[in-house]
Amino acid sequence: MNDEVIEILSSLHEVITKENGILADYPYDGLGTVVETKARLTTRLDALLMRRNQEEPQWLEQMELPVRRQFRTQIEQLSANSILNERLLKRKIEQADEMIAFVAGEARRMANNQTSTYTSHGSLDRRDIATPLSVNTTS
């Protein structure tokens, strides 16, 4: 079972490396498949580790030293790769937020939807009316 855990960790490392490569360049060709594979491997690893912890709570301590070293190496590589993956994903989300804010601002500017009303003190109060914005998500 240790071999299966190490194999899944290695596969997950490869998949995240591939995802990082895709995220670094636009367009994101093949990203959907890679994300599905990552989710499947993560689910499989989680189930395997949960079952292992239930059956043998001390399995990590009982691991032979060479296997434990290999396991630790895989975990460290996966951790470093996951940190890079997190940073890339956060930046892509920030870029999408910036684009949406820009498009919404530009739509508001172009529509020039403002309303003016007099306040009870006689001053003019101007407000922007929300401009409807839709995003066509079909390719």
Between 84 and 106, whose confidence is greater? 84
| pTM, 2 dp | 0.72
Q: CB atoms < 10 A from the CB of 41, how many? A: 20
Which tokens belong to 59?
């399995």
Q: Identify the band that residue 74 occupies on the pLDDT scale cut at 50, 70 and 90.
A: very high
Q: CB atoms < 10 A from the CB of 22, how many? A: 19
Among 20, 36, 37, residue whose Cα is nearest residue 28: 20
Task: Specify the pLDDT at position 108.
Answer: 72
Amino acid sitting at position 130: A
102-137 pLDDT, tens digit per residue, is: 988 887 777 777 677 778 887 877 776 666 666 677
| Tokens 């997950």 -> residue | 12
Which tokens belong to 85?
């993956």
Q: CB atoms < 10 A from the CB of 13, how many? A: 19
C-alpha–C-alpha distance, residues 134 and 124, integer Å: 31
DSSP line for 39-98: HHHHHHHHHHHHHHHHH-TTTTTTS-HHHHHHHHHHHHHHHHHHHHHHHHHHHHHHHHHH
Residue 115 DSSP class: E
Residue 129 DSSP class: P
Which tokens belong to 48?
């395997």
Task: Specify the pLDDT at position 79.
Answer: 96
